[in-house]
């Protein structure tokens, strides 16, 4: 992984040596000879790792003081101290103050490289743990074998490695964020950060500080925004159509220049970020209504990708259900259940307006709420009422969901029997009046009733 590394030392030889070794490893290094230059460089963009000389002769702040400032403003940036021979104690105290590790001069190149790799790996793992916590048990596997999901997978494989900006459209809960993660994972930025910002959940007042960060003020440290956080990786802007107009102007400029100012700041922060955005709305309509900038739309959507609704890929429902059962069972210990054919037919024919997310929630609900013998299959009558409402039922309504698991011939027979019994009852058993009402010859109705086994 190529990382952005800052090397701070008052000795030019050391700066060059460390920089040269790390550059050879494929990293991008920058250097500073004193404390103020170092802090300015960090202000210009947060590095992913800092090598910091303990003494920093001739500087306003010594190395330990610079460490304190870094840890206060950017606690997540790992700092490796460069210590002179004989001041190991100081190096140890630096670790107590938050440094990741130290290297002692003179050092060997491989030791330097090893420490750098370890520090970067530790910070990457920390970030991943944070991401996993926020996703809490969600997966990044894209389940489904329908032609439409295969097509989506192919587009992701083609577009992922290109570094192009992508605008993902699709209804709520259909898997847009999952598709964005898959794009990130198939790009060269895979080991870099994947940062999510939800434009719908952020108020217009906080949008800019969330995206660009806030410069330090008296008493408050600098806050890093999502764009800087995503340096070297991908920024996913969810529901980009909800972005306030003013922020749209500023983000457009960032897309063009790849640099911006923090709120209240004067320095320009330069970043290398791939932007993937998503929308569940029709952005062309938003443009027509004057809510969304057309030029931003074209910049964000260099490649458009559409994620289908569940209703467009009903054949994937059984696989999605068994995948979620496995997943939920592994996470919670709840027993997996078998879904009977009639219930599966209902689940497959439901429209799922909340898409995969709603399907997953319902699987969880079934696993929790469906009592009875855990080995017994879940039948259609055990499904929540609102799931079955779009399914045709028989006049008597009893076990109507079962119709969906039958052939047309068998379903028609059940329907005819219940329909005719209900009509005959309605006309108090008078076959002539029933026949007249339903539009059949009296003799034909008699034959029908006989073939269905109704009446004497």
Ligand X SMILES: Nc1ncnc2c1ncn2[C@@H]1O[C@H](COP(=O)(O)OP(=O)(O)OP(=O)(O)O)[C@@H](O)[C@H]1O
Positions touching ligand X (CB under 6 A) are 138-139, 141-144, 170, 172-178, 238, 280, 356-357, 360
**Minimal CA–CA distance to 328: which of 138, 144, 142, 179?**
138
**Could you tell me the smallest distance in angstroms from the CB atom of residue 173 to ligand X?**
5
How many alpha carbons lie under 13 Å from residue 326 in its C-beta half-sphere? 8
**Alpha helices for 136-220 (secondary structure H):** 147-159, 176-185, 204-212
**Could you tell me the smallest distance in angstroms from the CB atom of residue 315 to ligand X?**
13
Which residue lies nearer to ligand X by CB, 139 or 451?
139
CA angle 152, 155, 161 (to 5 degrees): 135
Which residue lies nearer to ligand X by CB, 22 or 178?
178
* CA–CA distances in Å: residue 239 to residues 116, 178, 198, 243, 352: 37, 14, 6, 8, 20
**Could you tell me the smallest distance in angstroms from the CB atom of residue 163 to ligand X?**
22
**Could you tell me the smallest distance in angstroms from the CB atom of residue 236 to ligand X?**
9
**Could you tell me the smallest distance in angstroms from the CB atom of residue 138 to ligand X?**
4
**Could you tell me the smallest distance in angstroms from the CB atom of residue 154 to ligand X?**
14
**Could you tell me the smallest distance in angstroms from the CB atom of residue 242 to ligand X?**
11
266 Cβ neighbours under 8 A, 6+ residues apart: 215
Which residue lies nearer to ligand X by CB, 260 or 292?
292
Which residue lies nearer to ligand X by CB, 243 or 435?
243
**Could you tell me the smallest distance in angstroms from the CB atom of residue 307 to ligand X?**
6
**Could you tell me the smallest distance in angstroms from the CB atom of residue 175 to ligand X?**
3
How many alpha carbons lie under 13 Å from residue 29 in its C-beta half-sphere? 20
Tokens at residue 201, please? Answer: 């959940």
Which residue lies nearer to ligand X by CB, 94 or 202?
202
**Minimal CA–CA distance to 20: which of 124, 148, 109?**
109
**Could you tell me the smallest distance in angstroms from the CB atom of residue 327 to ligand X?**
9
Which residue lies nearer to ligand X by CB, 176 or 231?
176
* 3-class secondary-structure state, position 245: helix
Q: How far apart are CA 426 and CA 438, in angstroms?
A: 12
Which residue lies nearer to ligand X by CB, 90 or 172?
172
Which residue lies nearer to ligand X by CB, 98 or 354?
354
Residues in the chain: 456
Q: How far apart are CA 381 and CA 343, in angstroms?
A: 8
- Read off φ and ψ for residue 282, nearest 5 degrees: -85, 100
Which residue lies nearer to ligand X by CB, 172 or 247?
172
Which residue lies nearer to ligand X by CB, 74 or 280?
280
Which residue lies nearer to ligand X by CB, 116 or 328?
328
Tokens at residue 367, please? Answer: 């696993």
How many alpha carbons lie under 13 Å from residue 257 in its C-beta half-sphere? 12
* CA–CA distances in Å: residue 337 to residues 210, 221, 327, 328, 424: 43, 52, 13, 11, 42
Q: How far apart are CA 231 and CA 254, in angstroms?
A: 13
Chain position whose Cβ is nearest to ligand X = 175
The secondary structure of 88-156 as a DSSP string is HHHHHHHHHTT--EEEESS--HHHHHHHHHHHHHHHHHHHHHHHHHHHTT--------SHHHHHHHHHH
Q: How far apart are CA 48 and CA 72, in angstroms?
A: 16
* CA–CA distances in Å: residue 364 to residues 313, 330, 358, 367: 21, 12, 10, 5
Distance from first CA to last CA of the chain, Å, rounded? 83
**Could you tell me the smallest distance in angstroms from the CB atom of residue 342 to ligand X?**
25
């Amino acid at each position: 992984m190529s990382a952005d590394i800052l090397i701070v030392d008052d000795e030019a030889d050391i700066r060059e040596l460390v920089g040269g070794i790390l550059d050879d490893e494929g990293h991008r290094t920058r250097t500073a000879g004193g404390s103020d230059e170092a802090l300015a460089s960090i202000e210009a963009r947060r590095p992913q790792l800092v090598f910091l000389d303990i003494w920093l002769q001739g500087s306003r702040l010594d190395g330990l003081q610079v460490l304190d400032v870094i840890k206060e403003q950017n606690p997540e940036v790992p700092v490796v101290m460069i210590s002179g021979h004989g001041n190991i104690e100081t190096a140890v105290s630096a670790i107590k103050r938050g440094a990741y590790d130290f290297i002692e001069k003179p050092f060997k190149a491989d030791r330097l490289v090893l420490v750098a790799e370890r520090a970067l790996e530790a910070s990457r793992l920390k970030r991943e743990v944070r991401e996993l916590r926020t996703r809490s048990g969600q997966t990044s596997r894209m389940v489904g074998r329908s032609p439409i999901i295969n097509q989506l997978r192919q587009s992701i494989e083609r577009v992922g490695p290109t570094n192009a900006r992508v605008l993902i459209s699709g209804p709520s809960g259909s898997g847009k964020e999952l598709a964005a993660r898959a794009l990130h994972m198939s790009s060269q930025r895979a080991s870099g950060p994947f940062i999510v910002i939800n434009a719908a959940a952020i108020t217009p007042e906080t949008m800019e500080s969330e995206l660009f960060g806030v410069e330090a003020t008296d008493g408050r440290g600098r806050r890093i925004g999502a764009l800087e956080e995503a340096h070297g990786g991908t920024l996913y802007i969810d529901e980009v159509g909800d972005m306030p107009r003013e922020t749209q102007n500023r983000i457009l400029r960032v897309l063009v220049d790849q640099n911006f100012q923090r709120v209240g700041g004067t320095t320009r922060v330069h970043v290398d970020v791939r932007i993937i955005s998503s929308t569940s709305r029709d952005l062309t309509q938003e443009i027509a209504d004057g809510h969304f900038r057309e030029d931003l739309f074209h910049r964000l959507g260099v490649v458009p990708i559409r994620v289908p609704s569940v209703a467009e890929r009903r054949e994937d429902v059984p696989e999605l259900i068994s995948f979620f059962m496995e997943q939920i069972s592994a996470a919670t210990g709840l027993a997996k259940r078998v879904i009977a054919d009639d219930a599966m037919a209902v689940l497959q024919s439901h429209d799922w307006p909340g898409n995969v997310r709603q399907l997953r929630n319902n699987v969880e609900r079934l696993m929790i709420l469906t009592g009875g013998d855990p080995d017994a299959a879940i039948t259609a009558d055990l499904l929540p009422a609102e799931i079955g409402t779009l399914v045709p039922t028989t006049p008597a309504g009893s076990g109507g969901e079962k119709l969906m698991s039958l052939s047309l011939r068998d379903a028609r027979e059940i329907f005819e029997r219940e329909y005719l019994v209900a009509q005959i009852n309605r006309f108090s058993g008078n076959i002539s009046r029933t026949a007249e009402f339903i539009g059949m010859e009296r003799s034909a109705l008699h034959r029908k009733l006989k073939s269905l086994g109704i009446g004497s």
